[in-house]
Structure 1
Amino acid sequence: MANAAGTASLPAKEKRIAPANASAPVDFPTIVQRYGPAVVNISATSPEQESSQTPLPAIDADDPLLSFVKRMVPRSQASQDSSPRAITGTGSGFIVSPDGLILTTAHVVDQADQVTVRLTDRREFKAKVLAVDTQSDVAVIQVDATKLPTVKLGDSSRVRVGEPVLTIGSPDSFQNTVTAGIVNAISRTLPDGSSFPFFQTDVAANPDNSGGPLFNRAGEVIGIDVQTYADSDMHPSLTFAIPINMAAKVRSQVLALRATSPGGLGVEVQDVGPGLAVAFGLPRPAGALVNSVAPGTPAASSGLKPGDVIIQIGDKTIDRSAELGETASDLLPGTKTTLKLIRNRRLMTTTVMVGASAESPPPRQTDGGATDRLGLVMHPLSEDERRARDLPVGLMVDGVDGPAASAGIQPGDIVLSLNGTLVETQSEVASLEAKAGKEIAVLIQRNNARSFVSVKPR
């Protein structure tokens, strides 16, 4: 109807001279017909789960949704003792690659013991959780299948307040559930100075749709639907969407680690923020920062190391980490290409054979690190801790204050490297810390997910 109204308001002369084959936005029913089969139902169970009647658990205190809901939503007297809740353990997801890669929310599958995926054609698969990023609330899961229907990903940086959106969910009946609305607000800064990166929409709350795709009128996925229950009489529920560009970062990390897939390099990467750009001596915050290199992969054979910043693959300049996985995935297995990267503030070029395997593990570098200037109390991983986390080296964080606390490092995190150098002992940390500048890039692992954090030492 919006299209018809918009067209009717155009001058008659403009309508006559418009090309007959001018592309028009895809209507919502066509979006549902075309992409609905790529939306899946997800059910997750854990050993602690007692029954389907168990009340929704409160949102975790560290979840970025909590600060927004508690700050912005007025609380009724009856609900003063209640905490905001999120849909967990059941919801939707959507297929982003024909070989079974699926995006959903962390709320749906986090800490799950078993995950089941059901398609609209009634096929059912057991899924493996590949990545859970609680800060972005994104999860990536995988089913063992081929030639699956997929959605088309858009660019969430182009989303505008007021534009119409549609979300598709998949309940247990194997049929799509569809709701529509508009974008109420995009990312904003909260009164306490923290960033709230999610979109807010007025799409009707539907538990089945949580974790499902949010489409724009062109049929592109611009977000992942998140249903949050605020326990307020005035605002019984809120609907948010995770910008798809945030989800693409997590997806690209998974793609990069899947060395057996077409274009898989065997590296985990992240974007370079302003702080990390200073720490690594980069001219600008751009490129794909390498968090880890998997042994026996193309990246390992090319000599890539954690802390390398890849700025070009072939003739494609890399500004965001997602572009590395996307470009590599377009290359046929066995294709040889070049990588331009910055290591220790120097420009380097190396050759990588996409889809090949390495004959030896990547070279390891160790030079030191410490705790006073960072505000970290750590101990070297024990043999049992290494085995449980499948790590060769690292330091477990026991206590945190000062700069490290401000940077978001928490007890239980594992520090793997400082400024690109792997660390195994306190003395190594002290040595690296003494040589560091105004910013130190600390590679940490939390809940099997790795990320670089920039810390300003005191």
Structure 2
Amino acid sequence: MKTNLLLMLLSGVAVSLGGCAIPTNTLETQSPNTQAQNPTNTPIVAAPAPPAIFQSSGDPNFVVKVVQKVGPAVVRIDAARTIISRSPDEFSDPFLRRFFGDSPSRSRPRVERGSGSGFMISGNGQILTNSHVVNGADIVTVRLKDGRTFDGRVLGEDPITDVAVIKIDANNLPTIALGNSETLQPGEPVIAIGNPLGLDNTVTSGIISATGRSSSAIGASDKRVDYIQTDAAINPGNSGGPLLNARGEVIGMNTAILQGAQGLGFAIPINTAQRIGKELIANGKVDHPYLGIQMVTLTPEVKERIDRLGLNVTSDRGVLLIDVVPSSPAAAAGLREGDVIQSINNQSVANIEEVQKLVENSKIGIPLQLQIQRNGQTAQVAVKPAPLPIQKEG
């Protein structure tokens, strides 16, 4: 099979599970705010305010009560990292060297600064935030609402779920109770607290717009998260801050918006963030199961494109493999481009999201039993997941 041709044909609809993700341009992760040192000079386009929301009791002041209760446990995180850039190559020109001599150094360090948010999960200074807030940081500073500042130490970060834990040396700190993101329903009121655009301790409110938004659905195919969607205003600098329910419990960690959209924000469910946070505290890293495949949901549109290539894919449903990473667990098990996954461990799969969930919930080293269709024939293949190779961001 001509893999490059198949990839080109299906570009924009494929998702990687341990391979190279096809990039999209729709998602803007809420990276540390690098333009907020003078917020009064920052042009801000006002979005329509969401309608007022009320707790089931009818109390119109529940947002005030929640903010008073948990606000002190929300922190600002300032991060700085040193970037080494190369100076221009013109000084390698022999003619210029006659006048200026040899350049003593062609590496020019510069410091990149940004800010985000986080929240206390323990009284001894453990803080949850986004991985992209502290990724590659040389210096991390944590500022509390009461004005105190502390040096932060990154205990661990997981780019795959965009969760990180940092630690400050302090005790008897205010904390926020963690809720349960498994029971959320669209329409529930929520509150976001953070430091968007350098405006510390900003509060916004709205509702849960949807739950279970897959990473591929919002253009973040390199992540393994089913996001909470909210219309509460989220902007750069909100990254890592809490999304709260009407009782003041954290039900999500704010992380992303869709570029150019209004009223579309996304948060990592707190059950996911808490699970990853515990592993980071214990081990400093998280190992995710990895197969090494790139795949696409087999829809009538995709099937039509494949038929035009003259490929022998007879199945009308399942998940089509369009690439298998060399030397990966999938390659070792004999999976090939053009195979259609129909079930995993006897659970039928109809789309890439179902495959991602089953793989993410599997155990490294414990074989997964895949039923596939190849050239019109059904076969069983056992694939043993390995730890996902992680590459540091930027």
- TM-score scaled by structure 2? 0.51
1:225 pairs with 2:257: no
After superposition, the Cα gap between the structure-2 partners of 1:219 and 1:272, relative to the gap in structure 1 and judged at 3 Å, is farther
Shift of 1:28: 1.6
After superposition, the Cα gap between the structure-2 partners of 1:146 and 1:445, relative to the gap in structure 1 and judged at 3 Å, is farther
User: Which of 164, 178, 181 is residue 153 of structure 1 equivalent to?
Assistant: 178
1:446 pairs with 2:390: yes
> What is the 5 A alignment of 1:152-231?
152-170=177-195, 176-189=201-214, 197-228=226-257, 230=259
Tell me the secondary structure at the aligned position of residue 152 of structure 2: strand
- TM-score scaled by structure 1? 0.45
- Aligned 8 A contact 2:74 2:194 in 1: yes
After superposition, the Cα gap between the structure-2 partners of 1:3 and 1:199, relative to the gap in structure 1 and judged at 3 Å, is closer
The answer for the alignment partner of 2:83 in structure 1 is: 48
The answer for the alignment partner of 2:151 in structure 1 is: 126
Tell me the secondary structure at the aligned position of residue 233 of structure 2: coil
How far apart, in 1, do the equivalents of 2:213 and 2:80 lie? 34
How far apart, in 1, do the equivalents of 2:210 and 2:250 lie? 17
- Aligned 8 A contact 1:119 1:174 in 2: no
Shift of 1:418: 4.6
Shift of 1:175: 5.2
Q: Spell out, residue by residue over 1:25-64, the C-alpha distance to the aligned partner (whole angstroms, 9 max, x if none).
A: 99221111111110000111111299xxxxxxxxxxxxxx
Shift of 1:218: 1.3
The answer for the alignment partner of 2:62 in structure 1 is: 27
Amino acid in structure 2 at the alignment position of 1:221? V
After superposition, the Cα gap between the structure-2 partners of 1:228 and 1:111, relative to the gap in structure 1 and judged at 3 Å, is farther
Q: Spell out, residue by residue over 1:60-87, the C-alpha distance to the aligned partner (whole angstroms, 9 max, x if none).
A: xxxxxxxxxxxxxxxxxxxxxxxxxxxx
Shift of 1:169: 1.2
The answer for the alignment partner of 1:301 in structure 2 is: none
How far apart, in 1, do the equivalents of 2:65 and 2:207 lie? 18
The answer for the alignment partner of 1:248 in structure 2 is: 274
- Aligned 8 A contact 1:253 1:270 in 2: no
Structure 1 unpaired stretches of 5+: 9-23, 51-87, 259-267, 276-369, 377-399, 409-416, 421-436, 449-458
Q: Spell out, residue by residue over 1:341-373, the C-alpha distance to the aligned partner (whole angstroms, 9 max, x if none).
A: xxxxxxxxxxxxxxxxxxxxxxxxxxxxx9587
Q: Spell out, residue by residue over 1:163-218, the C-alpha distance to the aligned partner (whole angstroms, 9 max, x if none).
A: 10001114798952100001111113557997761111111233342211000011
> What is the 5 A alignment of 1:300-315?
none
After superposition, the Cα gap between the structure-2 partners of 1:3 and 1:239, relative to the gap in structure 1 and judged at 3 Å, is closer
Out of 204-213 and 90-99, give the one that drifted further.
204-213
How far apart, in 1, do the equivalents of 2:388 and 2:234 lie? 36
The answer for the alignment partner of 1:36 in structure 2 is: 71
The answer for the alignment partner of 1:392 in structure 2 is: none
After superposition, the Cα gap between the structure-2 partners of 1:174 and 1:192, relative to the gap in structure 1 and judged at 3 Å, is closer
After superposition, the Cα gap between the structure-2 partners of 1:252 and 1:161, relative to the gap in structure 1 and judged at 3 Å, is same
- Aligned 8 A contact 1:41 1:172 in 2: no
What is the alpha-carbon root mean square deviation over aligned residues?
A: 4.3
How far apart, in 1, do the equivalents of 2:245 and 2:200 lie? 21
Shift of 1:225: 1.0
Q: Spell out, residue by residue over 1:395-452, the C-alpha distance to the aligned partner (whole angstroms, 9 max, x if none).
A: xxxxx9979xx999xxxxxxxx8559xxxxxxxxxxxxxxxx823142355258xxxx
Q: How many residues align?
A: 241
Using CA pairs under 8 Å that are at least 6 residues apart, name the structure with larger relative contact order, 1 or 2.
2
Tell me the secondary structure at the aligned position of residue 66 of structure 2: helix
Shift of 1:137: 1.4
Tell me the secondary structure at the aligned position of residue 69 of structure 2: helix
